[in-house]
């Protein structure tokens, strides 16, 4: 039996999944990122050692791993397979992780943006299977987005397509970390709701300091929290309406911790879409939750490795 490894490198944890040809994760493990990637110089030997010991522990020989896909929270320059920006894991900045690990392990290794791989995993094994075009949007601390266009992952000319959270939704609005003002991410995300919670705590004498507390208050029907949440998800709805006007996807898959915490946001988004899009756009549009949870990134990485390694020798 031959396998692929799907790997998701996050700021605190590295998840590794051994994936068979049927798309089943037959074994998985989690490891501390800080113990594996201590610095730029140690990243390749650290990850190489981790992958080797993961395989040895399972009694697998290197030859049984056909290829490896890795998701990272950053941007990759495809022309040289180099990570150009990895804000939460700066040890990976400017590292040609794919080629270097390929050399180290003698197994083809491919690296992609983590959210793109989550989208790919959902598309192949979870929500959106069979659609030719689908957008996957995840509202967590920030907003992540992966696009499937014409049945394939769409990464754009420089690998940065799908920066949905940085579309301008309010002219001259709140300052965003990307340098722009009024980005969608500053109005609907964990970061945005934390700012709103802290403002409301002062203005309305509430004990909130985080998005979580604001959402919890909304769940209990707090009259200050409810309109804040409603407004936030209206902005998300506007952003999705823009995306639908541009791309006409058959499905928008909407997930992430903030949506899970405040599922009523899905209805707000649907109301905005219905009132702002022409009927032909929203009548056939499906808005759905993702199905796979954290498995999506590992499966997507394995799918990516399989498709990329098809022409590798």
From residue 152 to residue 191, the character string flagging contacts with Zn ion as x (rule: CB under 5 A) and all else as - is: --------------x---------x-x-x--x--------
Which of 37/183 has CB closer to Zn ion? Answer: 183
Minimum CB distance to Zn ion, residue 233 (Å):
19
Query: Residue 268 Cβ, how far from Zn ion at the closest point, in Å?
Result: 22
The residue (of 125 and 138) whose beta carbon lies closer to Zn ion is 138
| CA distances, 298 to each of 25, 122, 210 (Å) | 8, 10, 30
Whether the CB-CB separation of 235 and 195 falls below 8 Å is answered with no
The reply on whether position 135 binds Zn ion by CB under 5 A is no
**Smallest distance, Å, CB 73 to Zn ion?**
16
When the beta carbons of 183 and 188 are compared against Zn ion, the nearer one is 183
CA distance 168 to 67: 39
> 143 near 184, Cβ under 8 Å?
yes
Sign, Cα dihedral of 245, 250, 256, 261: positive
Closest contact distance (angstroms) between CB of 180 and Zn ion is 5
Q: Which is nearer to Zn ion, 12 or 175 (CB)?
A: 175
Could you say which residues in the range 91-110 bind Zn ion, by CB under 5 A? none
What is the DSSP secondary-structure string of 64-129?
A: GEEEEEEEESSEEETTTTEEEE-TT-GGGTT--HHHHHHHHHSS-EEEEEHHHHHHHHHHHHSTTT
Q: Which residues bind Zn ion (CB under 5 A)?
A: 166, 176, 178, 180, 183
């Amino acid at each position: 039996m031959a396998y692929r490894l799907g790997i998701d490198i996050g700021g605190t944890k590295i998840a590794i999944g051994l994936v068979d040809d049927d798309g089943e994760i037959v074994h998985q493990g989690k490891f501390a990122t800080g113990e594996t990637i201590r610095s730029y110089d140690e990243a390749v030997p650290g990850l190489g050692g981790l992958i080797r010991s993961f395989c040895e522990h399972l009694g697998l020989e290197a030859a049984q791993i056909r290829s490896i896909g890795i998701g990272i929270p950053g941007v990759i320059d495809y022309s040289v397979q180099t990570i150009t920006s990895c804000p939460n894991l700066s040890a990976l900045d400017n590292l040609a992780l794919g080629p270097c690990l390929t050399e180290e392990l003698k197994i083809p290794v491919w690296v992609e943006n983590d959210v793109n791989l989550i989208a790919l995993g959902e598309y192949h094994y979870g929500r959106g299977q069979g659609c030719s075009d689908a957008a996957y949007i995840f509202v967590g601390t920030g907003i992540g987005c992966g696009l499937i266009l014409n049945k394939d992952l769409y990464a754009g000319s420089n690998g940065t397509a799908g920066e949905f959270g940085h579309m301008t939704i309010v002219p001259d609005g709140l300052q965003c970390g990307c340098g722009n003002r009024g980005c969608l991410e500053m109005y609907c995300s964990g970061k945005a709701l934390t700012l709103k919670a802290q403002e409301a705590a002062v203005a309305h004498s509430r004990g909130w300091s985080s998005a979580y507390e604001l959402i919890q208050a909304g769940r209990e029907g707090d009259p200050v929290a409810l309109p804040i949440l409603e407004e936030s998800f209206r902005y998300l709805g506007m952003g999705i309406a823009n995306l639908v006007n541009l791309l006409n996807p058959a499905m928008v898959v909407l997930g992430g911790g903030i949506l899970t915490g405040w599922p009523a946001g899905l209805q707000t988004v649907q109301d905005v879409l219905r009132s702002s899009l022409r009927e032909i756009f929203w009548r056939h549009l499906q808005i759905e939750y993702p199905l796979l949870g954290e498995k999506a990134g590992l499966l997507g990485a394995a799918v990516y490795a399989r498709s990329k390694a098809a022409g590798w020798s």
